[in-house]
Structure 1
Amino acid sequence: MVGGVAVTATAQAGSSGQVIGAPDISFATGSGTFSAGTTGELTVSIVNRGQILRAGPSQYEDRVTTAEALTFEPQDDDVPIKIQTERVTVGNFPVGGAEQPISVTVPDDTEPGTYDIPITAEYTYTRFIDYTANGVDEITESTKEKTDSITIHVNENAQFEIVDSNASAQIGDENDISVALRNTGSEIASGASVTAESRSSSVTFESADTSSSTFVGDWEPGEVRTATYNVRLESDAVLRGYPLDLTVNYEDSDGFDQTSNPLTSVVQSTPEQSFAVTDVSSSLRVGESGAITGTIENTGPTPVESVAVRPNENLSSVVPGEKSVVVGSLAPSESTSFRLPMEVTSEGEPGEKLIGLDVQYRDSDGDQRTYSKHDISASVGPERDAFKLAATDQTISVGSSRTLAVEVTNNLDETVTDVDARLFADDPLATGDTDTSYIESLEPGESTTLDFDVSATAAATAGNTYPISFDFRYTDRRGDTHLSDTFRYPLNAAQSTNGGGPPLVLIGGAAVIVLGGAAVVYRRYN
């Protein structure tokens, strides 16, 4: 057996002859189905069946059937389909099969149907081999160009495009946006919904989600539907466009669930609504009602309505007189003044107070918004007496009675009403029948004179000084009732000369005695 093999090998090695053949290249597609408006990969199958016209040793047959330096190029000039892959190099390709992917784009307006894509292939091959026992004696090589085709089928289905967009959002605010889409396909999209997906954490939807869906129902070919969303643009967002990916989920005519390729829309940001507070002044004093005044300007990009200013925190000693004050509507760059009535309790301390302000407003959609980025410094003055008193002739004769005329001046910055004045005296002084007096109202700085009866008993010692006291109960402009601190006024006892003394007469330049300490406040409901 070993000798037989050797003889056979020798016979083959010592033979001569010719091998003639050629490659046989063809192209096909395993799955060539696409939808309009999509991009994907198409797998091209390449087959070389090889043709042997005159047989010979296998190595020579392999050589004549091998396509060398094989390349192919799809031709899309005459079809409404774009082949993104240009020339493909396969290399040396023996008998057998292989697969090669190419990139295909089917435009939105491509009509459903079957399309043949021409393919031009080029390669070289050895057509003829003349061999002897010593090897190849002669070869003949050829170059061939072959045209074949592959098939692409475009389905009938729903396709979509964005036709309009109203998608702008203000930084730090919530806004409604809308995107209009058209079904450009040839099939109804049943039970369709449009899902928007944010690519940035700066843009969120309801409940701070990064996506939101809008149901639009059955969607006929050619019909336009509008998807509306509520988006929030975070306050730290920058001024730029923020992309949204839109996909349509629907059921096709065969009852299968489908999802469209993403469509990109943009949410364009606008500057944050803002306000400036300037020209701030304060008339606040410890123990008094006053006000903070200033100017508010709309420094944001849009007009606002129902603008109101309010303190955003409660200070222990500064009590707002109103929850807020309304200043009305403001166009961009427009300003107006405001006045915040406030009261400082008697426990308060004078000095600068930092007070936070909120600006409430309604935006262009009529939604209420709050701008909370303002702190103002308001000065609080020291406590002062509500009234100033003045009188002359501080003497009273021992054992006599007198009428004391006292000038009372409103020392506050507001009109006071229902002023009840009372005189108090201790032994050896005593009050007479007139120990109270009433003033209907006093404007700031206004004065009036009150008369009080006072007497000194025989127990008084001439040359000594004895005090009398006054207090005042009054009502401020807000209707709150206050009781002033009690202050003391000195009377000098003198030896009686006629059993009685002249009345104390008010004259210009009289000494002023000022109440000290904080006022005690009694609310109207007490």
Structure 2
Amino acid sequence: MNNRTISLLLVVAALVLAAGTATAVARGSPDIKASLQDDTVAIGEETTLDVVLVNSGDLDLGDDQNPSLNSEVQTARGLTVDVRDGSAPISIKTGTRSLGSLGTGAPTTASFEVSVDENAEPGTYDVPVVLDYDYYSRISSGVRQQKSVTRTRTVSVTVSDDATFDVTNVDSNAQVGSTGTVAVTVENTGQTAANDSDVTLASQSGDLTFGEGTESTRSVDSWAPGETRTFRYDVTASDDAQVDSYPFQLNVAFDDPDGVRKESTDTSVSITPDPEQEFSLSDVESTLSAGEEGTITATVTNDGPRDVDNAVIKWVSDKEHISPEETEIAVGDLDSGESTEVTFTADATDSAEAGSKQFDFVTSYRNTEDDRVESDTLEAQAQVSPDQDEFSLDSANTSVGIGQSGNIEITVTNTRNETLSDITAKLFASSPIDTDDDEAYIDALGPGESETITFSVSADGDALQKSYPVSLDFRYDDPDGDSSISDTYRVPIEVTDANGGGGLPLTAIGGVALVLVLAVGGYMRFR
């Protein structure tokens, strides 16, 4: 390889090495434009000029591999804004505003308090906006070249002797999931009257609407300069609305004194709905049991944020085998944070399944607009007990001797959660046990109450010494006056040896009677 070839290879290698180690380079500057959010003022008015600044940026040389450098050279740093009155008949009350850095994209706003001269001539005037800021004009190999500049932008301000309008107050009782009222107070800050005015409030979000529409209008015939009017709008906040600020636009269309139809600049209004009204259930207790009447008792709490009037708790569960006697319970007014106890009485059929069941309720109430609205569903878990006997029996003196008769006593207890009345007990027996008196009556038994009833039974002479069953059932009325027959209950009758007590055998009784008759006859004859 000759020297020329070697030199050429070294040059190529140097070029490759230089290309591999090339540094990023960006060159550019900010490009800030200024405008006014509302460019119309009234003679003698004290108001605010909102200067909107947007930086679109200039990029002379960019770096695709490191776009953050491109952003740096287009960003205004240490930005200050100063508004001058120029030739306009206005006085600037606010000094220089410092805004920090302003990159490309999102705008920023600087507000300046101004007053308009009382003797100002209507017309359009140029107002200078002075911008001071630093920026990096070039970035190369990590080195930043900084420049400081002053730029003047011009905005136009119109001084009008027409009616102009200023929103002085917004009061809202809108609430998530409900309809409320928004009251907007507006002042005619202009020099002339507005006639046949239409004041329109328009929502910028589908979560807060005017019924089915997105805007609503109120009208006023004559509106004098300096006069304040309050307009009320019904606003509905959907269930999906958030407790956040929602934007609205207020616009006034009116006739000036010459009958010319004019329209004000839109004014931004924000409305924040209150949280949704909420209720909760706690301390749920149940006496429900298959085949009988029971209750579900719970504590209902108004969790706020507002007091409610004329509250009604509604049973909205659809249970095939459980039916409430009443589906609504009125609880009256409930302050925020206040609780009250409600009890629903329900009938459970014999087919009702035992176990934990979900029951649904809602709270109906009147809101601040006196409209009746309903809460979200309130869920409660309540236990349904399995079917149980109406009575429990406790027997005493239930033994009888062979060939003897005697009384048995049975204590009957009402095991239901309701009073049972007109209770007729019927005793059934089969050989070798017979009943001489097979019915007993109880006027009424409250829950847990007991009463002892008596029956007369006898055992045949050929009965064995053992227990024989007898059966009882009961006919009774429930609190609704419905008559039912209970399940059948069995009671053991113990047959004992006649000599073991429990009464004389029938044969002995006959013999004693015969002896007594003969004795009496002999006594009378030999007397």
* Residues 454 and 250 of structure 1: CA distance in aligned 2, closer, same or farther (over 3 Å): farther
More helix by share: 2
Amino acid at match of 2:219: F
Q: Give the C-alpha shift of residue 409 in structure 1.
A: 0.9
Residue 323 (str. 1) matches residue 330 (str. 2): no
* Kept in 1: contact 2:425–2:473 (CA 8 A): yes
| Structure 1 gap segments, 5+ residues each | 1-32, 40-73, 84-105, 121-150, 503-526
Task: Work out the percentage of aligned pairs sharing the same amino acid.
Answer: 29
Match of 1:180 among 170, 178, 185: 185
- Matched residue type, 2:190: G
Q: Tell me whether 1:195 sits opposite 2:200 in the alignment.
A: yes
- Is 1:419 the equivalent of 2:422? yes
SS across alignment from 1:448? strand
Does the 8 Å contact 1:159/1:185 carry over to 2? yes
Partners in 1 of 2:382 and 2:471 — Cα distance?
A: 39
Give yes or no for contact 2:174–2:180 (8 Å, CA) kept in 1: yes
Q: Tell me the distance in 1 between the aligned counterparts of 2:261 and 2:507.
A: 114
Equivalences for 1:263-302 in 2 at 5 Å? 263-302=267-306
Match of 2:138 in 1: none
Pick from 73, 77, 86 the counterpart of residue 86 of structure 2: 77
Deviation at 1:481, TM superposition (A): 5.0
| Residue 209 of structure 2 corresponds to residue 204 of structure 1 | yes
User: Which digits, 9 at most, give the CA deviation of each residue in 1:154-198, with x for residues without a partner?
Assistant: 665332221222124222221111111122334433332221110
Aligned to 2:363: 359
Going from structure 1 to structure 2, the CA distance change for 1:365 and 1:162 (only over 3 Å counts) comes to: same
What code does the residue aligned with 1:175 have?
A: G
> How big is the shift at 1:473?
0.8
Identify if the C-alpha distance between structure 1 residues 278 and 118 changes in structure 2 by more than 3 Å, giving closer, same or farther. Answer: closer
Q: 1:257 to 1:482 in 2, by over 3 A?
A: farther
Letter in 1 for 2:486: S
In the aligned structure 2, how far is the partner of 1:79 from the partner of 1:190? Answer: 29
Output the amino acid matched with 1:159.
T
What pairs with 1:219-368 in structure 2 (closer than 5 Å)? 219-368=223-372
Cα separation, 1, equivalents of 2:399 and 2:116: 110
Pick closer, same or farther for the CA change 1:152–1:213 going to 2, 3 Å: closer
1:498 aligns with 505
SS in structure 1 at match of 2:376: strand
Give the alignment of 1:475-486 within 5 angstroms.
475-476=478-479, 481-486=483-488
Aligned residues: 382
Deviates more, 1:185-194 or 1:195-204: 185-194
CA distance in structure 2 between the partners assigned to 1:153 and 1:230 by the alignment: 34
Q: Any idea what the Cα deviations from partners look like across 1:365-393, whole Å, max 9, x if unmatched? A: 44333212421211111221121112235
The two structures have a TM-score, normalised by structure 2, of 0.61
1:217 aligns with 2:226: no
Asked whether the 8 Å contact 2:41–2:160 carries over to 1, the reply is yes
Shift of 1:399: 7.5
- 1:159 and 2:164 matched: yes
**What is aligned with 1:444?**
447
Q: Which AA in structure 2 matches 1:193?
A: D
**Residue type of the partner of 1:350?**
A
Q: Rg larger in 1 or in 2?
A: 1
Aligned-pair CA distance for 1:210 = 1.4
Tell me, which stretches of 5 or more residues in structure 2 are unaligned?
1-38, 50-82, 93-113, 129-155, 499-503, 510-527
* Residues 483-492 or 382-391, more deviating: 483-492
Task: Tell me the distance in 2 between the aligned counterparts of 1:119 and 1:322.
Answer: 74
TM-score (norm 1): 0.61
Residue by residue over 1:2-61, the C-alpha shift from the partner in whole angstroms, topping out at 9 and shown as x without a partner, is xxxxxxxxxxxxxxxxxxxxxxxxxxxxxxx9885999xxxxxxxxxxxxxxxxxxxxxx
Q: Which residue of 1 aligns with 2:80?
A: none
Aligned-CA RMSD value: 4.1
One-letter identity of the residue aligned with 1:180: T
